[in-house]
Amino acid sequence: MPPIESPGILTTLLAFVLVLGPLVFIHELGHYLVGRWFGVKADVFSIGFGKELAGWTDKRGTRWKLSALPLGGYVQFAGDMNPASQPSPEWLSLPAEERNRTFQAKPLWQRSLIVLAGPVTNLVFAVLILGGFTLAYGKVVVPPVVGEIQAGSAADRAGIKIGDRIVAIRGHEMDSFLDVRLEVGQNPGEPLDIVVLRGEQRLNLATSASVKIESDRFGNTQKIGFLGIGPKSFEIVRVGPIDAAVDGVRQTGSIISMMVNGIGQIISGKREVKELGGPIKIAKYSGEQLVSGWQPFVTFVALISINLGFINLLPIPVLDGGHLAFYAAEAIRRKPVGQRGQEWAFRTGLALVMALMLFVTINDVASLKVFGG
């Protein structure tokens, strides 16, 4: 086995800051800019939590600061005096003109867009990165046509032949060979219902994906599904800005689909819980991608940006998705959820998020074998 490379602790920390810092900034900038657009005053724009390390106050009265715990950030809008962002006696006592510039004074649709802006900005940022690569280097077009088959493989056992065009796997349409690899790769050891087009004949075949353990130059291993086929041909097509953006959206959607599928597999027990990662594992991978080159590193930034946007849209109180869930309830009920109910929900959500953070951190430490084993 070749020696396992390591980027070193300083490189890892630098890479972690280079990944997380800008992504947190653009997330909070999304909230801030849409809030400003709707005339909401921001009191604080913070990268990190806890004690302020450095900062300044701009001419609009917003305090921009860098705080001690760099695992997130926040924008505190004027009048936002409690976790549930509900009107309070302090808010009601504000002069009318000042109160009109607060978050709570805005109509429901504006508050929703302000909250939604953070995660959407992360997703748009990822689309720009992935679409930018497509624009710069072209789109790789690989038709889902079989060009090679490994003897004795899952594909061979299923009766797949060279020249077959794979139409669907597990009910999902296959537009390219990459779709085939993603679908099979996400389902190691799982039954696969495959539809192929052989000449004019449409055939339904069945097999189970083989299990393959892949290892990279840093010793990271991953269990994937393996069919044992290769593509017949591929080409690189130059595209314009619009097609590149569309491809960026497609890639982002595919990654989100993989995340949803992965969470479902962990919940159902098809994947191990240890595959979940937290800040330590993100830092580790950040360092590894940084020493691998700027393209892998920027692609990794896009992946984490998608992850950040997706997680923040989950309907968990304290996350943006939790706020949006309450706004949806408010739209249906024609009145806000009670302040006491929201406060209890946010306390519960905070406890869940903190428990998950603790779990994934312990999981990260265990996976790094800090204490041997």
Q: Tell me the catalytic residues.
A: 28
Q: Which long-range contacts (CB under 8 A, 24 or more apart) does 269-278 make?
A: 270/190, 273/363, 274/363, 274/366, 274/367, 276/359, 276/360, 276/363, 277/360, 277/363, 277/364, 277/367, 278/357, 278/360, 278/361, 278/363, 278/364
User: Which residue, chain included where needed, has tokens 């976790």?
Assistant: 83
Please give the structure tokens belonging to residue 174: 């296959």
**C-alpha span between 336 and 330 (Å, rounded):** 5
CA neighbours closer than 13 Å in the CB half-sphere of residue 219: 11
HEC letters along the chain:
CCCCCCCCHHHHHHHHHHHHHHHHHHHHHHHHHHHHHCCCCEEEEEEEEEEEEEEEECCCCCEEEEEEEEEEEEEEECCCCCCCCCCCHHHHCCCHHHHCCCHHHCCHHHHHHHHHHHHHHHHHHHHHHHHHHHHHHCEEECCCEEEEECCCCHHHHHCCCCCCEEEEECCEECCCHHHHHHHHHCCCCCEEEEEEEECCEEEEEEEECEEEEEECCCCCEEEEEECCEEECCCEEECCCHHHHHHHHHHHHHHHHHHHHHHHHHHHHCCCCHHHCCCHHHHHHHHHHHHHHCHHHHHHHHHHHHHHHHHHHCCCCCCCHHHHHHHHHHHHHHCCCCCHHHHHHHHHHHHHHHHHHHHHHHHHHHHHCCCCCC
